[in-house]
Amino acid sequence: MKRVLIIDDDCFENEEAIRAGFEATNVEIILCEDKDEGLKWIKSKALFDCIVLDWYLGKDSEDSFASRLILKELEKNYYAPVLIYSAHSENFRAERDENKFSYPPNLIHEVDKDGFNDVSTKVTEWLNNNITARLSNIYFEKVYEQIHKTFWNLNEIPHDNIASVYKHIIFEKGNIDWGSDFIINWLLQNLISDEGFRIEITRLIEQIQTEQHQTTTEQKQKILNKIIYFKSNSPYVSNSDIIKIQVGENISYGIVISPDCDLAQSKTKYIEFIELRELKEDLGNSKLREQIAKNNSDSHFYFLSLELEENSFTDLVAILKSKNRITCCNNDSEKYPCVINRIKYSESFQIDKTNCSVSYVCSLLSPYKAEFAHKKSAHDSRVGIPSVYKYFSTT
């Protein structure tokens, strides 16, 4: 069942018309007549497929202050498409164009209010025409359902047994091995084996395959950056981190290939990495560069659309045969540098006996991490991972 939150100072006066409009739909509606009541529901993290918001909120309001506060609370804290349903939609457009508030354009849409008889139709149109809204509806419902099932099954086992096993499987000497977290893996397997989930995703994909969507190179770069890479807040160096190495004024890039288990050991002396160079640099003849861009070169791995600076994307290439080492210098050893626990980016480092700084750019996400590891070790082609490179080369 879908749920819609309506925040409008006139909603209770028009409750009968609103409920009549949604009567034939599988939608539960929650009505709020002011900002405080709306924020209360939002902060409760209750799941809503859409939030309908009056732009001038308040009986005597002549501005959008209250509505902008709601958008500010939603931004980056709560996911829901927002339908501005208001007699002041022109004012909304003007304030949006003047950058008086920030909200993703893909998540907000305005329509002119014409009574409340058509609010159900407008919500349905907005949700059906928004691909991310439809995806979120499927994932929210199924993930939430599987979380409940996973923990229900988990609690069939005495909690002392769970605790004793859990800590030994994923935790050792301060290191958490998320790949061994059976709860996360159990949840994932339950989700992808859910026939209803697979049917709904397949149905959506089949429908959008027939549609024509226009995009630009910049938009493609942004979405690829989110598909392939992850930007972490962790202070620790990890396998598959893409790093910036600075020696004086000289800057270079690399990808960490030391296994996480080695980086967590007290005897670790080095961070091993593979050199990354820009595709536009002289990497050989034009035929080689063409092979690299198609990800067909055995000795190179193509890192497409890396955001090295904000909204500035660069194509990098890993030189697979160029393994290098950075030495961690924060230690008490006279002969070999070592660290007490996991290596942090805040440590002091050397490369070729020269002081350098190492900073984090992003991490390669699975399954592309697995693809890179396979190609690095085997110098072989792809292993059945869906290609994003083809998407970048099409209109």
Same domain, 238 and 273: yes
In a domain, 220, yes or no: no
Radius of gyration of the chain (CA): 26
pLDDT of residue 337: 44
The residue among 73, 107, 129 that closes a domain is 129
d(CA 284, CA 291): 11
In a domain, 219, yes or no: no
C-alpha 233: how far from chain center: 13
Q: How many domains does the chain have?
A: 3
DSSP state of 45: T
Same domain, 93 and 241: no
pLDDT of residue 167: 77
Question: Which range of residues forms the domain containing residue 297?
Answer: 225-392
Structure tokens at 190: 């339950």
Structure tokens at 391: 């998407």
Same domain, 207 and 255: no
d(CA 373, CA 82): 41
Q: Give me the long-range contacts of 135-143 (CB less than 8 A, separation at least 24).
A: 135/204, 136/49, 136/79, 136/81, 137/2, 137/49, 138/197, 138/200, 138/201, 138/204, 140/47, 140/49, 142/191, 142/194, 142/196, 142/197, 142/200, 143/187, 143/191
pLDDT tens string, the chain, 395 residues long: the values are 689 999 999 999 999 999 988 888 888 999 999 999 999 999 998 889 999 999 999 877 788 999 999 999 998 889 989 999 999 999 999 999 999 988 888 899 999 987 788 889 999 888 888 888 889 889 988 999 999 999 888 888 887 788 877 777 777 666 677 777 888 888 999 999 999 999 999 999 998 888 887 888 888 898 899 999 999 998 989 999 999 999 999 999 999 999 887 777 666 678 999 999 988 766 767 778 778 877 778 888 989 999 998 888 999 999 998 899 999 886 544 444 444 467 889 989 999 889 999 999 999 998 888 888 888 887 555 455 666 767 776 54
How are beta strands 349-351 and 354-364 bridged, if at all?
antiparallel
pLDDT of residue 341: 60
Same domain, 7 and 72: yes
The residue among 129, 164, 186 that closes a domain is 129
pTM for this model (two decimals): 0.77
Structure tokens at 303: 């890192």
Please, what's the b/e burial string for 50-70 (b: 16 or more CB within 10 A of its CB; e: otherwise)? bbbbbbbbbeebeebebbbbb
Contact 75, 69 (CB under 8 A): no
Same domain, 365 and 234: yes
Residue 281: how many other CB atoms lie within 10 Å = 9
Same domain, 144 and 123: no
